[in-house]
Amino acid sequence: MVSFIRLLAGVLAFAFAAAPAVLGQDAASQEPLSPVEAILLEHTEIIQRGSRRTIEPAIAALRDSGLPEAQIVFERWRDKELWARLSDGRFFLTATEDRETYTLFHMATGEELGTAIRDDLKEIKPNSGIRSMISSALVQFQLLDPDPAVRAQSLASIARDPEAEHLAILRGAIDGEQDEALKARKERLKRLLTIRFDTETAVRVAAIRSFSDDLGVDVRATLNPLLTTRLQVSAEGPDPSANVARVLRVGQDIGVEEAYALLASRDLAPALVTSGERNDALIGNIREGSVAGIPVASLDTEAARDAAYALLAEEGVAAPLVTLDDKEETARQFQFFEVYAESDPAVTQATQETLDRINARVAAFGALDLSLDAISLASIYFLAAIGLAITFGVMGVINMAHGEFIMMGAYTGYVVQLFVPDYTLSILIALPLAFAVTFGAGVALERLVIRWLYHRPLETLLATFGVSIALQQLAKNIFGTQARPLTSPEWLDGAWVLNDVVSISYIRIAIFALAVVFFLLLLFILRRTRLGLEVRAVTQNPRMAASMGINPDRINMLTFGLGSGIAGIAGVAIGLFAKVTSELGQDYIVQSFMTVVVGGVGNIWGTLAGATLIGFLQKGIEWFNPANTLAAQTYMIIFIIIFIQFRPKGIFALKGRAAGD
């Protein structure tokens, strides 16, 4: 009796424990199906199977249902959050704490619908192919999403992987778009898809011509495939229905060898005997040291081997060789022509005309882009060379350490940024500080070394070259050999983009503006100040200037300091986009000297003209040979050597000591 009572108690306890799960399952089962659930339940078998080859009906039914909940279901499905209940095939979201009993939630609304045990549930894990199909189906929902960011992301997704069905979806999503920028993007993308997927010729042609002034890379990527051709050959000529691009003439538009090879590859002519096959035939027919009566020792040239093979062919033991005359005669029996991959002639004609117009504009804007690059490079060379032009013009000193003053300015900017984390403020501090540091270094160099070597150019060159090496080594000892960062402010990040062809970085624009400021400032100093008057006087005739009460020694010192200070400012500017290392100045010293020599020593206008000429020349050479920058340097030096043969005093020649008077 006691045992029976205990057994009954156990059964009741188990029943009460299982009751919530059973009741929960019943609650979930009795919950009426929503329309989206009905669609999934209808296709539950193929969804659970998870095969990309069979899943299309389920995705299409959900996509075309027009139900707002379909987007949520697609997202849950793609993110592997759906579970199927095996007992009835219904789909839920789940949550669990003990991995045995799962709480079920409605997949669209999130409403709790009861519980189920783990053995009655299957997690839906779509593979990458199915997830891709789901993402494509989500497009029509995302294009109408209230969040502009979602709509923009959907447009980007379509642009990356467009499909024919996206065209109708896009057309239906344009009118209701409130964001003008997104509406313009939708309209543009619709026209691109119209070109690829629409079936009406007039509509496609109109879409193609609408891009006549558009320089976008995506436009050219859409139009260029329409003009791809394939080479065809026929004895009767092209098919009347084919969209023929051009007919090729043998020997002019297509070589005889190429034409015959095409015929042989399509079994329209006897196959060519390769050199390997010929040699194998010769080896296989060696008899007593000869091939067809020709000693093997004499078969040491291609002509001799061909002659021996021809004899074998005459004997019928080898396939005959095809001579050039045979190839030409055979090729002329056929017609060769190129056929467009696009079958509609109106479409290819409109595409060709549109691309011709686009390419002409691309070439024009490409020239503008190249000119902007050249101006940017010229502004850098001007900043690097103007200090050298002043010192060389006034003092006649070849300062081989000028590049190291550029390097000192760049390192000054780096040190300032170590203590001033605000990049804008640090640059504003670094510019005058770099001038002060390099001005002081220039004055020290002039006082300690150069003043004792005036009128001794070779000794001056060697001395400043030694100073250059010493300054480089000093920089390595202080800062190490690794490149140091000189970070530009955020407002200098990025580039000014006019279109897909023309762009220039904001740093280059800032350097150009800095070069203009210094050009105007130096013009003012030299033309409107007493220091400038004295500098010009010493430049033209130091003895006469001394007799008028000007101290040439003081002017030389200040001039050398000024030139060195400007080099320091150039170093800060250059360091914003170049690596700050101890060899930084060496990358610009040669161009600086070339700029001074070409422009004319001691003349600001000459330096500007020289920097502009060299900047455009270097960019032009690099445009012709972009893969070899060393060649650009070489050709530029050759040009300058030739230039100074005809204009030894530069573009703007000065009379005075710098000009050799």
Query: pLDDT tens across 31-46, in order?
Result: 567 888 888 888 888 8
Backbone angles phi, psi at 295, to 5 degrees: -60, 140
Domain boundary among 193, 227, 261: 227
How far is Cα 447 from Cα 470, in angstroms, rounded to an integer?
A: 17
382 and 284 in a common domain: no
- Domain count along the chain: 4
Domain boundary among 536, 566, 581: 581
How many other CB atoms sit within 10 Å of the CB of residue 489? 17
State the angle between helix axes of 180-197 and 164-174 in degrees (0 to 180), rounded to the nearest 10. 150
How far is Cα 574 from Cα 358, in angstroms, rounded to an integer?
A: 36
240 and 168 in a common domain: no
Region 644-649 average pLDDT: 80
pLDDT, residue 409, reads 92
500 and 414 in a common domain: yes
Q: What are the tokens at 581?
A: 């290392």
222 and 234 in a common domain: no
- For residue 159, which amino acid is it? A
Q: What are the tokens at 188?
A: 């543009």
User: What is the CA angle 183-185-191, rounded to 5?
Assistant: 105
Higher pLDDT, 395 or 279: 279
* Cα 152 from chain centroid (whole Å): 23
Report yes or no on 576 lying in a domain: yes
The model's pLDDT over 368-419, given as tens digits with 9 standing for 90+, comes to 988 998 998 899 889 888 888 877 766 777 888 888 999 999 999 999 999 9
Domain boundary among 581, 602, 621: 581
558 and 409 in a common domain: yes
Higher pLDDT, 22 or 581: 581
pLDDT, residue 54, reads 87
Higher pLDDT, 21 or 490: 490
| Residue 209 in this model has a pLDDT that exceeds 60 | yes
391 and 314 in a common domain: no
| Residue 628 in this model has a pLDDT that exceeds 70 | no
538 and 571 in a common domain: yes
Report yes or no on 597 lying in a domain: no
Maximum separation of any 2 CA atoms in the chain, in Å? 139
Check: CB of residue 619 under 8 Å from CB of residue 629: no
The model's pLDDT over 6-33, given as tens digits with 9 standing for 90+, comes to 433 443 333 333 444 443 444 444 556 7
pLDDT, residue 13, reads 39
118 and 199 in a common domain: no
Report yes or no on 284 lying in a domain: yes
Report yes or no on 472 lying in a domain: yes
pLDDT band at 531 (very low <50, low <70, confident <90, very high): confident
The model's pLDDT over 131-152, given as tens digits with 9 standing for 90+, comes to 888 877 777 777 777 888 888 8
pLDDT, residue 659, reads 44
Check: CB of residue 170 under 8 Å from CB of residue 189: yes
Check: CB of residue 636 under 8 Å from CB of residue 614: yes
Element (H, E) at 554: helix 552-575
pLDDT, residue 10, reads 42
pLDDT, residue 8, reads 39
pLDDT, residue 604, reads 81
Element (H, E) at 505: strand 503-505
Closest by CA to 619, choosing from 380, 375, 382, 374, is 374
Report yes or no on 526 lying in a domain: yes
Closest by CA to 607, choosing from 373, 369, 392, is 392
Region 190-206 average pLDDT: 91
State the angle between helix axes of 402-419 and 552-575 in degrees (0 to 180), rounded to the nearest 10. 60
User: CB-based contacts of 534: which residues, under 8 Å, 6+ apart?
Assistant: 545, 550, 555
Report yes or no on 11 lying in a domain: no
Backbone angles phi, psi at 497, to 5 degrees: -110, 115
pLDDT, residue 34, reads 80
| Residue 471 in this model has a pLDDT that exceeds 50 | yes
Quote the domain boundaries for residue 262.
Answer: 229-340
Could you identify the residue written with the tokens 């640059």? 427
Check: CB of residue 449 under 8 Å from CB of residue 464: yes
| Residue 567 in this model has a pLDDT that exceeds 70 | yes
How far is Cα 630 from Cα 236, in angstroms, rounded to an integer?
A: 54
153 and 112 in a common domain: no
Report yes or no on 36 lying in a domain: yes
| Residue 654 in this model has a pLDDT that exceeds 90 | no
Report yes or no on 213 lying in a domain: yes
508 and 395 in a common domain: yes
- For residue 500, which amino acid is it? D
How far is Cα 139 from Cα 166, in angstroms, rounded to an integer?
A: 8
73 and 90 in a common domain: yes
518 and 389 in a common domain: yes
Element (H, E) at 513: helix 506-528
Element (H, E) at 442: helix 423-448
